[in-house]
Structure 1
Amino acid sequence: MAQYLYAEGTATEIQTAAKHFEQVFEEDGFAIANFEIDEDAGLWALSLYPQEEQISDAYSKALSELSALSLSIPLKVEELGDVDWVTKSLEGLVPVEAGRFIIHGSHDRGLDTMGKIAVQINAGQAFGTGHHGTTAGCLKVLSEELRGFHPMRILDLGTGSAVLAIALAKCLKQEIVATDIDPVSIETAKENIDINEVKPFVKTAVAAGFSHPIFKEKGPFDLVVANILAGPLCKMAPQLAQHTAIGGRVILSGLLPHQRATVLAAYRLQGLHLLRTVEEDGWLVLVLERW
């Protein structure tokens, strides 16, 4: 049975620990969640999900980091039952408005969209429900960028649940290329694409890096959206730039404020220049243009 790390404390303690863990375990790519469990008591919970073979090392490292922060919240190793907790957690999520879009789960099908473009997302085992600042920030930035910018060839790199690709397809009614390194993510993406009735517009592919023939076939791209992590984004900068058309724009998300300079340096070397920076819920979205 799978295990995970769990702690309870005050809102300040848990949110401080969660934000710190996001930086400490960034390279590992562990999922981290923090949420309120008792409003009256002011009690919050923190969950950290390492790979099975890394649970012991992650536990020791997390304890050390909590000590360094002078946080005395008790950290435990818990058993994760045979339940799809990602899907189950969606049952309680409320719709999220982000720019001209509203993202919701199947339990809110038929809601009043108030004139916004509705995107139904059932995340399954793929990242991206619209509730995280990285995704919401991307959607808001896309809403603004597309008012005066009209890309013809569009790539959603690291599509996850395909929330961004679906939003773009519904907004523009044109082809969007959506790729991800994870086959499970692409299967989830296809399900969401079908649910949202945009299959004619979204072309998916399982692709690690830019070796897949779809990039040569469909690129260079006028717009690339990459909601990933700082490390992979820096490594992919040369190839991403090569597959971006002159005058094309790149929207990068999944970044913490302290990573801004490193990521910008990697892309400036490739001829991409910053147009603006947007912050959403403590996360950054960078909008760049290839000159």
Structure 2
Amino acid sequence: MKLTQPASQQRTGGYRIELDVPIDHVMAFSDVVENFVDAVAMVEVTDGKVWRVEGFGESQPDKPGLIAGIELAALVAGIDAPEVRFKTLPWTDWLLENRRRFPPIQIGRYFIHGSHYTKPVPASTIPLLIDAALAFGSGEHATTRGCLMAAGMMAKRRRRPFRVLDMGCGSGILGIAAAKSWPCRVLLSDIDPVARDVARENTRLNRVPRVRAISGPGYRNPLVKRKGPYDLIFANILARPLCHMAKDLKRHLAPGGIAVLSGLTAKQEMWVLSAHRAQRLYLKRRIPQDGWHTLMIG
């Protein structure tokens, strides 16, 4: 993705949108904002209970449409609509500035950094080059952290995964982490073709072989069916789709395989576990992070 433009071409400023929402509803409001901007970030504001959803764009957003979407999300959630703050930014390269807001972080054995980071990575870590851009998953959010911690725990198992599926891959960070951890074949899948393209670019930047990114209707994608069953499935999505997809996950998980589920809050855990217990999949380990839970089941 090109981040700069010749000085001879006229540039307008960028735009930023901000709204503060309760942690239980941050993903729902993030999904709304994502429809009106080019990049989304989520930052903890107060003790993990309130998070700030920030949207960045190069062109002015559809303010009435965004506000209507936020009000509808608030109505569905049963809460008051949060204040939406619009800010005009001077042109400096808003996307690069957004990326710089995410400093390198280490999560277990993984060291996540952007392309702007030029220092040596810490010894004995697995580097993941992921820019905060147009798809979810830069390691900053608790759900991504939980999934990477789960991947690190799996490295201690004797059985190593050979086939890996990252369902709802976003940036592709989880599948790329798997490809750098084991000599496995990885399929990255997302319903959003933009996420697929971002995942492909991240795969190229990280120089990982045997990784393919596709877009399509989840487990109904013929390629997802053909490449399975999978020894390891990542599904960092949301509680409701996780429950709806439990039967399909069971069908695509190899005997003895592990699924890593995230995108659910502590209050939603029993709901998600019940849907998977009905498929004879049981909790192996729970990883709590800032009010979000990551579940390892099998």
The reply to whether TM is greater than 0.5 is: yes
Cα 1:55–1:210 change in 2 (3 A) is same
Find the aligned partners of 1:48 and 1:194 in 2 and give their Cα distance: 27
Structure 1 range deviating more: 141-150 or 128-137: 141-150
Deviation of 1:88 after TM superposition, in Å, equals 3.1
**Deviation sequence 1:158-182 (CA, Å, 0-9, x none):** 1111111111111113211111111
Cα 1:269–1:203 change in 2 (3 A) is same
**1:159 to 2:169 alignment:** yes
Task: Give the AA of the match of 1:240.
Answer: L
Cα 1:61–1:181 change in 2 (3 A) is closer
Find the aligned partners of 1:218 and 1:61 in 2 and give their Cα distance: 36
- Which of 286, 289, 298 matches 1:277? 286
Find the aligned partners of 2:154 and 2:266 in 1 and give their Cα distance: 21
How many residue pairs are counted as aligned between the two chains?
A: 267
Extract unaligned runs of 5+ from structure 1: 8-13, 37-43, 68-73
Q: Is the 8 A contact 1:86 1:125 kept in 2?
A: no
Cα 1:47–1:179 change in 2 (3 A) is closer
Task: Give the AA of the match of 1:261.
Answer: M
Q: Is the 8 A contact 2:179 2:186 kept in 1?
A: yes
Cα 1:274–1:61 change in 2 (3 A) is closer
Q: Is the 8 A contact 1:102 1:119 kept in 2?
A: yes
Q: Is the 8 A contact 1:87 1:124 kept in 2?
A: no
**1:19 to 2:23 alignment:** yes
Q: Secondary structure at the match of 2:220?
A: coil
| Number of the residue aligned with 1:231 | 240
Q: Is the 8 A contact 1:254 1:285 kept in 2?
A: yes
Task: Give the AA of the match of 1:162.
Answer: G
Cα 1:218–1:239 change in 2 (3 A) is same
Find the aligned partners of 1:60 and 1:206 in 2 and give their Cα distance: 27
| Number of the residue aligned with 2:106 | 97
Q: Is the 8 A contact 1:4 1:55 kept in 2?
A: no
Cα 1:182–1:97 change in 2 (3 A) is same
Find the aligned partners of 2:105 and 2:272 in 1 and give their Cα distance: 28
Task: Give the AA of the match of 2:98.
Answer: S
Q: Percent identity?
A: 35
Deviation of 1:282 after TM superposition, in Å, equals 2.2
Root-mean-square deviation (CA, aligned residues, Å) is 3.3
- Which of 39, 45, 55 matches 2:67? 55
**1:75 to 2:74 alignment:** no
**Deviation sequence 1:82-114 (CA, Å, 0-9, x none):** 988565322132111111111000111342322
TM-score by length of 2: 0.78
Deviation of 1:27 after TM superposition, in Å, equals 8.3
- Which of 101, 116, 119 matches 1:107? 116
**1:46 to 2:58 alignment:** no
TM-score by length of 1: 0.79
